[in-house]
Chain A
Amino acid sequence: MYTQALDLPDAQHAAVARPAPSDSALQAHFDDKISQEQKIEPRDWMPEHYRKTLVRQISQHAHSEIVGMLPEGNWISRAPSLKRKAILIAKVQDEGGHGLYLYSAAETLGTSRDQMLDALHTGRAKYSSIFNYPTLTWADVGVIGWLVDGAAIMNQIPLCRCSYGPYARAMVRICKEESFHQRQGFESLMVMMQGTSEQQAMVQDAVNRWWWKCLAMFGPPDSDSPNSAQSQRWGIKRISNDDLRQSFVDATVPQAKVLGVSLPDPDLKWNEERQHHDYGAIDWDEFWATVNGNGPCNQERLATRVKAWEDGAWVREAALAHARKNAARSLKEAA
């Protein structure tokens, strides 16, 4: 799975709802629950802004899972062995499943699946910008598992403690499955690093292209992340973007050493005083350009997704027609 700390306002969610005065008792009860670390469940009262924030975040997260199937899906028919093909199919199927868990969680907030899909397909909703980059070689598939899924896990583990029950439960399930994704990627790269010099160069090239994009997955710096503070107060977000990014860098450096690749950052070094790695500046202009639709694959990804949805329309309609016919038949037989 995959989320970046995408806390980015969609056009339709710009307005911030303030609780009406008559809601103040309910608001107090809600605040109380949040401060006592109790979960909020679907039919509990919640502030409109909390509901909207969750719908936006969970649906963006779900869209990311579904769009995330595309860059890797391209490699299913090109996997180098039957074993790698089976693993990749299982992984891509997991991503589809993660999308479904998350859409279900978002639906408990009163938004229909069709509304969410419509927002994705018309370009109103965001998804993780990492999927707007191309997967050029087989090594990219391994690097997505190791680094992209690794970054996603770092982001998602704190979400298992999210204050909204259905989201937290979906995240527990997703995190359990995610560990396979990262490990299969790392192992596949290990095999390539024991291969020819061309294979090793292919891995290094993929790492060079994905590293900075993975750091950007954690979202804008804390100083430039206006929604984060509210999300943290509500127990939706637990750890800040910069802290998560730091944990990811610290965890990845020794893994890169084991793998035998370098990370493409001349400023990356251990800081004894901070007990963390220092790293260089992230190109936020590129990040925002991609988020805003101008990455290398934005149009292709959305077009592929919309085509799949439209091509599947007759299947969805036929299944429904079949179900209605069966229901009518059994009614008739009963009569």
Chain B
Amino acid sequence: MSIPPQTPEALKPLSEWPLWEVFVRSKQGLEHKHCGSLHASDADHALRLARDVYTRRQEGVSIWVVPSSAITASEPNDKAEFFDPSGDKIYRHPTFYAIPDDVGHM
């Protein structure tokens, strides 16, 4: 069925550098955002390569790198059940409540 995004560690030839996910903060005050991945021998190396690959045009002021193997992801095939509990709680949205017009902005 679904194939995981990366080849399992055991199947990889030893010569391939590990895979890292790269997150870049584009400017002060904004969150880090996933922008891609790359291979590097260790964390420092990954940071340097991430700078060269993903911020050649001042796209970032801060970078995080995370080993791809350290990420746990939800199952896409369970999407319906996994996210279902929030589907029927429409009272969590402000538009659920009718407020008289003369109250003004609330």
Please determine whether chains A and B interact with each other in the same assembly.
Answer: yes
Q: Do A44 and B36 contact each other (CB < 8 Å), given the known contacts A94-B56, A100-B53, A320-B15?
A: no
Task: Pick the contact of A45: B7, B36, B77 (CB < 8 A).
Answer: B77
Does chain A have a CB within 8 A of B57? Answer: yes
Stretch at the interface among A156-164, A228-236, A321-329: A321-329
* Complex alpha-carbon distance, A145 and B15, angstroms: 35
Interface string of B35-68 (1 = CB under 8 A from A): 1111101100100000011001100000000000
Task: Pick the contact of A43: B4, B35, B45 (CB < 8 A).
Answer: B4
Task: Pick the contact of A113: B16, B57, B73 (CB < 8 A).
Answer: B16
Least distance between B78 CB and chain A CB atoms (Å): 11
Instruction: Please determine whether A319 and B4 come into contact, CB atoms closer than 8 angstroms.
Output: no
Residue of B whose beta carbon sits closest to that of A41: B76
* Complex alpha-carbon distance, A111 and B15, angstroms: 15
Instruction: Please determine whether B42 and A42 come into contact, CB atoms closer than 8 angstroms.
Output: no
Residue of B whose beta carbon sits closest to that of A105: B36
Interface string of A41-59 (1 = CB under 8 A from B): 1111100000100000000
Instruction: Please determine whether B39 and A113 come into contact, CB atoms closer than 8 angstroms.
Output: yes
* Complex alpha-carbon distance, A26 and B1, angstroms: 9
Most buried by A among B14, B36, B38: B36
Least distance between A175 CB and chain B CB atoms (Å): 13
Does chain B have a CB within 8 A of A244? Answer: no
Residue positions of B touching A, CB distance < 8 A: 1-7, 11-17, 19, 35-39, 41-42, 45, 52-53, 56-57, 73, 75-77
Q: Show 18 residue pairs from A and B whose CB-CB distance is below 8 angstroms, ordered by the A residue.
A: A43-B76, A45-B76, A51-B3, A90-B56, A97-B53, A107-B37, A108-B6, A110-B5, A112-B16, A113-B16, A316-B17, A319-B17, A319-B42, A319-B45, A320-B14, A320-B41, A322-B42, A323-B45
